[in-house]
Amino acid sequence: MSLPTKGRAVQIVEPGRFEIVEIPVPEPAPDEVLIEVEACSTCTNWELCMWEGRDIFARPGHPRYPLNPGAPGHEAAGHVVARGAEVREVCEGDLVAVKPSLRGHENDTHATHIVRPESEVAMVGSHVSAEEAAVLEMAMCALRSVELAEEHWRTTGVGREDGGLEGAACVIVGLGPAGILHVQAARLAGATAVVGIDTLESRRLQAKPFADAVFAPEDEALGGFLAPHDRRIVIECSGNAAAMALAVALARGAVHVFGVPEGRWVYDQSAWSSGAAILPYHWRGRPQAPLLKRAAQLLSEGKLDTACLISAVLPYERYAEGLEKLKRREALKIIFRWE
């Protein structure tokens, strides 16, 4: 099969404006595969920051426009259409999910074609759609976040040496896409009870099938439900300052912070008095690829649900419309496809 030499990509040229540009189809290195992207999922916070001219990590002088073609996409899936001479397991025709590559192919998936090392993709079952598989990068991150909570749980002398959250109530604050995936990951890790908290009823309803209980922050029943669960793991998934304050108030020890913080939150006397420790999300010393493959296996086995997060599937010509839906909190994730 002859491959095209030219492809297309989204390019954000300035805040609030994008173009669809022509790009060369990359050639895979000997250990790489060439992927025809069939579905790319939005990462809400990152996507909106870059669209609105804000840097997600508050770096001076960023973002720099025009962004690279394909940015800020980094959650995608597609079929392999070519492979390098050293690729052994992944075959042409395989559906694979990707992650940002350690080789520099980062945030480039809003494009028709991308390359990745074979070691950095995860094959997905043939019964899984590309749309479902595109969300696996975020699922990988949720698995890592809960893994960090498990590691800390063990250091308390309460958690099991072989891992898992048995004996712990896991409280997830913020039920956006990341929060709902955390609810599922905590359930998979064996948490005794999984509780979700969000201000939006629509998001509480989305998380309800996977949680033991869901609450609005002001719900008086929340305290009663948690009262028997002194052994708690709290994971904050929104980055919102009010949500962070709530997470600390509910904690019995550590608060694991997954959401990228927005604005300022004060570690006040009540937080100090409670002994709350703030533990950030990180990948230090942990390769990403094994967890991407585990997420793909869980999805293929029906143990992980990503379809519940997909609010709309749109062509790239409607990219700005999709981001507006995210901004108005009318969608969890938008999947973009090429027509």
Unique residue bearing structure tokens 């064996």: 190
pLDDT given for residue 162 in this prediction: 59
Instruction: Identify the H or E element spanning 229.
Output: none
Number of domains in the chain: 2
| Same-domain pairing of 128 and 158 | no
Contacts of 64 (CB under 8 A, 6+ apart): none
Nearest Cα neighbor of 235 from 184, 183, 275 is 183
| Same-domain pairing of 105 and 148 | no
105 lies in which domain range?
Answer: 6-135+306-337
Instruction: Identify the H or E element spanning 22.
Output: strand 17-24
| Same-domain pairing of 201 and 274 | yes
Q: What is the pLDDT of residues 133-191, one digit of tens each?
A: 999 999 999 999 999 999 998 887 655 555 678 889 999 999 999 999 999 999 999 99
| Same-domain pairing of 160 and 262 | yes
Residue at 288 is within a domain? no
| Same-domain pairing of 245 and 232 | yes
Whether the CA torsion 282, 134, 304, 249 is positive or negative: it is positive
What is the percent of the chain with per-residue pLDDT over 70, rounded to a whole number? 96
| Same-domain pairing of 174 and 263 | yes
- Of the pLDDT bands very low, low, confident and very high (cuts 50, 70, 90), residue 104 is low
Q: CB–CB of 312/184 below 8 Å?
A: no
- Of the pLDDT bands very low, low, confident and very high (cuts 50, 70, 90), residue 1 is low
pLDDT given for residue 288 in this prediction: 95
Q: CB–CB of 28/84 below 8 Å?
A: yes
SS3 103: coil
